[in-house]
Every structure is written in structure tokens, then in C-alpha cells.
Amino acid sequence: SAWRSFTRWLGRLAGSSPARAALLIFALTIGLFTSLLMMPWATASGSAPDFHDALFVATSAVTVTGLTPVNTAEHWSLAGEIVILVGIQVGGLGIITIAALLAISVTRHLGLRTRLVAQEGISTGKLGETGSLIKIVVIFSAVVELALALVLVPRLIALEGDVATGFWHGIFYSVSAFNNAGFVIHPEGLADVGHDPIVLWTLMAGVFLGSLGFPVLLLLWRHRWHFRRWSLHTRLTVEVTVLLMVVGAVLYAVLEWNHVDTLGQMTTGEKLQNSLFASVMMRSGGFSVVDNVIEHSETMLVTNALMFAGGGSASTAGGIKVTTIAVIFLAFLAEARGHEESTAHGRTIPTQAVRVAVSVVAMGATFVLISTLALIIITGEDLERPLFESISAFATCGLTTGLTEELSPSGLYVLTGLMFAGRVGIMTFAAALTIRHSRTRYRYPEARPIIG
């Protein structure tokens, strides 16, 4: 049948060009969810939504971004919200699975000498079969989301005073948090329940776990706190994640401590709690208790930097990824110390990894620059809000200055493309670069341009 020959073709494509197959799968998934959201039953009003809104929200859900031009609670029916939730879950599982599959094909390509994924627990021997990998990812996600829901559902039932609403909201926020999606279904955003510490800490825990990435989670599950068994990837991911989280929280607290619109009127405990919450969310959670546009410009700049950094590889967090930053910083450190090789924790980082990392950052910066330029031209705004919104879309973070809600269709298409590029582009690009690597048969003489 047509379906069977399509899947066979897709299988061949996945074998010959996993990166291109991943791009295609994501595009098709987004197409599917766009057409579901275009149904009249998906909206609260009962009439079909605008195509650019449906495409934007479907892309935002599948790429687990959380930006939206319409108010999720008011614009969509319950059925529409379920479509979005399924989109987030499918997108999140798809991202983790495909990233892990890409990592495996990278490992296979590189051979045993530079083992990549084997160390992470996703050894090709045990989990090489796509089916069993997907099974583990699904079970893992389900267990974590269930654990989150066990806290959130009773708490939200108590807060909202209604069993059905609390149950539905609890499920939605559990999925949204672990998948780093940042979608909210309270009309006024998280502000409605954001004063509750249990809700805040549960969301933080879900987002934090989700942002580490599947390879790290699997390894942590197996080896727990036996640090010596942690792989280099796990160590770097945890180290940079914790470092950025602390730096973000401290800067947020310092910059907003006395700002009446944000932290100013809270108790010291609440100030610290909300600073940590803001910091965790900047790196791709995308939930916010406070409107970002109310924050000081300096806070938005710090947020820009942390959004661009993002979370762990093969996770539902976006950005250029913490290991990319680690690799670049280690290269810098090696240079500053005059060492020929980048090393960390008794391991040498291959030179090619530095080039891939630089390529990823250069690509990301270029995307953000072009999108910001386009949004400034389209909206007539000055730099601040278009830059923030572009980085948020690229890094699939979902924090917003409110600009997305005001955008014309052309502006929405720019951000839609950026969410897709930031999510699927960066992931497949890095894998494709690493895989395509071939030995050259001849060498040119060296020449060294003057730098700096």
C-alpha cells in the first residue's frame, strides 16, 4: 500500500541520511497538528482559526516552545487544548528519540575509538533497535510525568476547588513541564497559581529533569551518585546546568530585588524562590510568573543570554546546549593555558568537537540576527523586544515580551521558521556535521592568518 511504501522509503532515508529524515518527520508532524487545530471543533468559538495561528501553535507545541499568538485558555476548546497537549507529548518524545537515534548513528559512524553514546547507557547493543529505544523513552517520560502529576493534581484540585479542572490542569502542567514546553492554560498565565510554593517547586523539578536530556537521565538512573561512573557528557551537562542555574538566580535576585513590579513586594523567601524559578525557566522551561516585559532591561539581557545557552543535548530544552558552551569554554581554557588539547575530567575532547560547537553557535547567532532584523522591520519596534522574542523562539524557550501576540502573519511566519530551525535545525545539523566527517586524502601546506 501507499503507507507501507512510504514507511519503507522513510526507513531507507533514515538509513542513508538520518538528519534529513528527522527534518521530514518533524515537518510532517507539525503539518498533522496544524490540520487538527484548523478544525472548527478545536476552537472555543467553533469557527476555524487563522492558518498562521494554527501553524504557529502546532509548531510551538511540537517543538515544545510555548510561544503563542493567542491565549491558549480562551482561544481553543478543550478538544483543541488536548490536541496541543498531545502535540507537546509527541514532540517531546520525538525530540528525545530522534536525538538519541542520531547520537547512535553518530556513534556507529565514528566507530569504537571515539565512543559517544555507549558511555551514556544507550549502548547500541542493548538499545540499538529503534523500537526498544522508543519504549524506554516512553516509559521513562511516563514515569516522571506521573510522579509530577501525583503532586500537581491534588494540589491544583485544592487550589481551584474543582476536581475536573484541577485534574485536567495537573495533567497538562505535568506534561508541559517535563517536556519543557511552557504552555499554560490559565487565562492569566501562571500568575493565578504562581504564589503556591508546591506548584512552583514541582514545575521547577519537572523542567530541570527534562532539561538534562535523556542520555544524562538514563545514566543518572543507572549510576546514581557514583560520580566516577559518570560519563564526560553527563558531568559537563550537570556542571554547566547547575552553574548557569545559580548564576541566573543570583543575577535575577540582584537585579529585581527592589523592583516593585516583580520581586519588590515579596518576602525574602519568596524573592529567593521566584529568582530560582525564573532562572530555571530561562534555560528553556518558558513558564513565567511575572511578565518578562515588566522586568528591567538588564534582566531581559541576562535572560537573553541564558535562553540562548539552553539545556542539555538530546533533551526537550533548546538553545545551543550546555555541552556546546562547555566545549567552547574548554577550548578557550586550553588556549589560555597554552595546552595543545582541550581536556576535562581526564578526557581529551576531539578537535572536531570544537568545530562542530563553533558551527552550532555561528548558525544560531546568524538565525537570531536575521530574525531580529526581520521582526524590527515588520513591527517598527526598537531592538529589545524583537531580540528577546527571536532568542526565545530559536531556543524554544517560550518566554515572551508579549510581542508574539501583537505580530502580523508575516512576523508569525518568521518566528515559526525560527522555532523549527532552532529545534530541528540545530539537532540535525550537529549530527549531520559529525557524521559526514571524512578523512582527506591529501594535505595542503599550513598557513596561519593573523588573528585578533
| Alpha carbon 154 to chain centroid, angstroms | 28
Distance of alpha carbon 84 from alpha carbon 62, whole angstroms: 8
Q: Choose the stretch contacting K ion; rule: CB under 5 A; options: 43-51, 114-122, 362-370, 395-403.
A: 395-403
Distance of alpha carbon 215 from alpha carbon 237, whole angstroms: 10
Interacting residues with a copy of itself between 2 and 21 (CB under 8 A): none
Residue nearer to K ion on the CB measure, 49 or 66: 66
| Alpha carbon 444 to chain centroid, angstroms | 41
- Residues near K ion (CB under 5 A), total: 6
Interacting residues with a copy of itself between 295 and 324 (CB under 8 A): 296-298, 300-302, 305, 313-314, 320-321, 323-324
For residue 336, the SS3 value is helix
Cβ–Cβ under 8 Å, residues 421 and 429: no
Other C-beta atoms within 10 Å of 321: how many? 28
**Among positions 44, 82, 358, 409, the unique one binding a copy of itself when judged by CB under 8 A:** 358
**Full DSSP string of 145-166:** HHHHHHHHHHHHHHHHT-HHHH
Residue nearer to K ion on the CB measure, 286 or 312: 286
Minimum distance from residue 317 beta carbon to K ion (Å)? 7
Cβ–Cβ under 8 Å, residues 221 and 209: no
Distance of alpha carbon 184 from alpha carbon 209, whole angstroms: 19
Residue nearer to a copy of itself on the CB measure, 225 or 444: 444
**Among positions 284, 372, 400, 401, the unique one binding a copy of itself when judged by CB under 8 A:** 372
Is there binding between residue 427 and a copy of itself (CB under 8 A)?
yes
For residue 344, the SS3 value is strand
Interacting residues with a copy of itself between 41 and 80 (CB under 8 A): none
**Among positions 110, 134, 198, 247, the unique one binding a copy of itself when judged by CB under 8 A:** 110
Residue nearer to K ion on the CB measure, 88 or 249: 88
| Exposure on the CB side of residue 133, measured as CA atoms within 13 A | 24
Q: Choose the stretch contacting a copy of itself; rule: CB under 8 A; options: 27-35, 185-193, 325-333, 412-420.
A: 325-333
Q: What are phi and psi of 318, to 5 degrees?
A: -110, -145
Distance of alpha carbon 431 from alpha carbon 131, whole angstroms: 21
Minimum distance from residue 17 beta carbon to a copy of itself (Å)? 13
Distance of alpha carbon 376 from alpha carbon 370, whole angstroms: 10
Cβ–Cβ under 8 Å, residues 216 and 251: no
Q: Choose the stretch contacting K ion; rule: CB under 5 A; options: 22-30, 146-154, 213-221, 277-285.
A: 277-285
Residue nearer to a copy of itself on the CB measure, 282 or 431: 431
Is there binding between residue 113 and a copy of itself (CB under 8 A)?
yes
Here's the x/- map for K ion, 45-74, by CB under 5 A: it reads as ---------------------x--------
Is there binding between residue 133 and a copy of itself (CB under 8 A)?
no
| Assigned C-alpha cell, 200 | 512552583
Residue nearer to a copy of itself on the CB measure, 18 or 166: 18
**Residue numbers at the binding site for K ion (CB under 5 A):** 66, 180, 182, 284, 286, 398
